[in-house]
Amino acid sequence: MEPVSVVIITFNEAENIGRCIDAAAKVAAEVVVLDSYSTDATEIIARQKGAHFFQHKFEGHIQQKNKALSFAKYEWVLSLDADEVLSEWAIQQIQQLKDWNKYDAFSFNRLNNYCGQWIKHGGWYPDRKIRLFKKSAGKWGGTNPHDKFELNSRTNVKHIDADILHYSYRTQAEHIAQSQKFSAIAAKALYASGIQSVFLKIVFGPPVKFIRDYVFRLGFLDGRNGFNIAYISAKAVYWKYSALQQLNRTKE
């Protein structure tokens, strides 16, 4: 097995960081935590678990994850969020990998836990993410707050059919608050990129999002939580483009 730097960004993740590090340590040559000046016990727990702990002002999810890569000692990096945990099957698959020299990155499924229920539909699963990669193979990109690892040209990716467990929201109220926060961040990112025409997206975007996730992506099979997820996701589309419209009006 190649040496792997596990890299985690944090802010007030005392409830999650210990669980994340414990699982990651089973495949890690080192664990790196880049923190945004937490005010809880995140630093204490991370250091107790043996992580290399650093701090840097948060300027955006993409910027923070790229900054975190600079602290990784090894070429191979496994990037995790603090509320994510490697499943035992994912750990075994990484430990038994034979294809390190054939590929530049590996993707995994992400299985989301919502209010105590594992969500298998509605576009939330398998939710494939590239999380194990060579530092030289690309960089974090996308649109804040929805970051993704973007590979350079002529790179090879292999999918590993194993889950990263994501403990997303403990309550519906958490989901709503996070969606509102992320919608505001996304609106600012769109505004910075010069997006202006949003009226049709405000009107038609939310119902299209709901129907796609709840009906065509079978969100109804996840019961009441499936409905709540689709509804809040649709509302998030409305919040995002309404905020963008307000920013554009303010500029005018």
Distance of CA 13 to the CA centre of its chain: 14
Looking at residue 252, what is its pLDDT?
Answer: 60
Cα-only R_g, the chain = 19
Give CB contacts under 8 A, 24+ apart, made by 16-19: 16/82, 16/83, 16/167, 17/42, 17/45, 17/46, 17/49, 17/82, 18/45, 18/49, 19/85
Q: Which residues of 148-157 are buried (b: 16+ CB within 10 A; e: fewer)?
A: ebebeeeeeb
Instruction: Give me the helices (H) in the chain, please.
Output: 17-24, 42-48, 61-69, 88-95, 172-192, 199-211, 223-251
Contact of 6 with 34, CB cutoff 8 Å: no
Looking at residue 207, what is its pLDDT?
Answer: 97
Looking at residue 241, what is its pLDDT?
Answer: 95
Nearest to 45 by CA among 70, 10, 78: 10
Mapped onto helix, strand or coil, the DSSP state of residue 123 is coil
| Three-class DSSP labels, 34-73 | EECCCCCCHHHHHHHCCCEEEECCCCCHHHHHHHHHCCCC
Task: From first to last of the 252 residues of the chain, give the pLDDT tens digit.
Answer: 899 999 999 999 999 999 999 999 999 999 999 999 999 999 999 999 999 999 999 999 999 999 999 999 999 999 999 999 999 999 999 999 999 999 999 999 999 999 999 999 999 999 999 999 999 999 999 988 989 999 999 999 999 999 999 999 999 999 999 999 999 999 999 999 998 878 899 999 999 999 999 999 999 999 999 999 999 999 999 999 999 999 998 866
CA distances from 172 to 115, 175, 205 (A): 7, 5, 22
Distance of CA 31 to the CA centre of its chain: 18
Looking at residue 104, what is its pLDDT?
Answer: 98
DSSP 8-state secondary structure symbol assigned to residue 14? T
Nearest to 163 by CA among 60, 88, 70: 88
- pTM of the predicted structure, to 2 decimals: 0.91
**What is the β-pairing status of strands 4-10 and 76-81?**
parallel
